[in-house]
Amino acid sequence: MAELAAHADAKRALDGGPEPSQQDEPPRAEPRPKNYLALSIFSCFCPAYPINIVAFVFSIMALNSYSQGDIEGSRRLGRNALWVAVASIIIGLLIIGIYCVVRFTTHVF
């Protein structure tokens, strides 16, 4: 009888199926944190090139952290991507504004 129970345990281990105690737990569903990929791609159209590329890299790193199971790291990197993308857009708008002011206020005779 003990040989039959040992054989059943060995077969279950070889099948790769979950243990009976693991089947009772419901799967933990974590909501995916925002990675702001669309905003960082939009910021790449602003003329603040080194900064908007950093925002894009943070966004991709947030995606990779989530796929590896690091929820808190993904949340932190997504937040960094948001702030760097917003800073890039603001700096880009300032550059465009300064260019327009200089371009249209200089008088070339």
Per-position pLDDT tens, the chain of length 109 = 555 555 555 555 555 555 555 555 555 677 889 999 999 999 999 999 899 999 999 999 999 999 999 999 999 999 999 999 999 999 999 999 999 999 999 977 6
What does the longest C-alpha to C-alpha distance in the chain come to? Answer: 105
pTM over 0.85: no
- Residues 91 and 102: their CA atoms lie apart, in Å, by 16
Q: Which pLDDT belongs to residue 108?
A: 74
How does DSSP classify residue 9?
H
Helix (H, G, I), strand (E, B) or coil at 105: helix
**CB-based contacts of 28, cutoff 8 Å, min separation 6:** none
CA separation for the pair 35, 79 (Å, rounded) = 7
Q: Note the pLDDT tens digit of each residue in 69-89.
A: 999 999 999 999 999 999 999
